[in-house]
Every structure is written in C-alpha cells, then in structure tokens.
Amino acid sequence: MDTPRFRDPQTRIDDLVDEPILVVCPRCSRRASVTSERLTCAGCALVRVPPRPDHRVWGGSIDPFFREPLWLRAECCGGNTLWAFHVGHLDLIERFVAATLRERGLGDRPGLTLVARLPSWMTTAKHRAEVLRTIAKLRATLS
Ligand SMILES: [Zn+2]
C-alpha cells in the first residue's frame, strides 16, 4: 500500500461488474450482492432478478442493475461521497490515491480508464490522508 508508483491497469467501469457488487439489502439493510442476473442477500435470503436483463445504468453510488445503494460508500472530504462496487474496486482506488507517481500504463482501448475518471477531490494530494482513512473505514465493514 505504500508503493509510491502506480501503473494504470486500464480497468474500465464495465470490467468491475465481473465481480459481485456489494449493496445495502433493500429488505434487511444488511450486505447483499448484485450481479447482472440477480440480487442475493445472505442475511434475509432475498433473491431478486433485475427488471431488465443486463441493462446497465451507471450513476454515482448505486449499482448499475438494480440501482440499490452501494455498501461501500461514505462521506469524505467535505460532503463528497467515496464509493466502490467491491473490494477489488476499493483496492484500485486505494493504490491510485496512495501513489505519489502515477503512470498511465499501456493499452490502446478507447475512452478513459477508471482511475483517469476519478474526481479531482479524490486525487488531489491534500486529500490523500483523508481519502485513505475513509477507504480503511470502508474496508473494516467487510470483515
Ligand atoms: Zn437482506
């Protein structure tokens, strides 16, 4: 985590949904998971299928299939919201924010990569400590 150098792995937001997304269960408010095919909650045994199969709506701190609030989200740096789909996403943000040397990495896929799209409040050096503290707090909710 204290590696100063970060090379962009060229992850796109679409790549993240290969892993289950953690959301707040709409029935019991515990941790549930979402894939393109279903929402499942181990806490209350809720199972739902999406209203439209594999239809994605991207936007802020909700999952793209059911639009439920993400489990990994917290207020950070004066009214901003830090959010992640799952621990792999959180790890990626953490490695980027912790790095003092950020490299674009190799690849010629079109469009901006995930880390290139992170908001400036999150990537500015003066917020590094607070963002990393918030990430640690979110990570603690996963154990
Ligand atoms: Zn539940």
Both tokens of 135, joined, read 């990430």
What six digits make up the tokens of 29? 């408010």
Quick check: 25 and 70 in contact, CB under 8 A?
Answer: no
Q: Side chain identity at 63, as an amino acid letter?
A: D
CA of 134 to the centre of ligand 1 (A): 25
Task: Name the residue ranges covered by the structural domains of the chain.
Answer: 5-140
Who surrounds ion ligand 1 at CB < 5 A?
25, 27-28, 41, 43-44, 46
CA distances from residue 117 to 12, 41, 45, 113 in whole angstroms, order as listed: 10, 30, 35, 6
Distance 28 CA to ligand 1 centre (A): 4
- Ligand 1 centre distance from Cα of residue 32 (Å): 6
CB burial of residue 15 (10 Å; 0-12, 13-18, 19+): middle
pLDDT for 107 equals 72
Three-state SS at 71: coil
What pLDDT score does 3 carry? 64
Mean pLDDT for each consecutive 10-residue tract of the chain (143 residues)? 80 91 98 96 97 86 96 97 97 95 77 88 96 98 92
Q: How many angstroms does the Cα of residue 112 sit away from the middle of ligand 1? A: 35
* 125 CB-near residues (< 8 Å, 6+ apart): none
Burial (CB count within 10 angstroms: exposed 0-12, middle 13-18, buried 19+), residue 23: buried
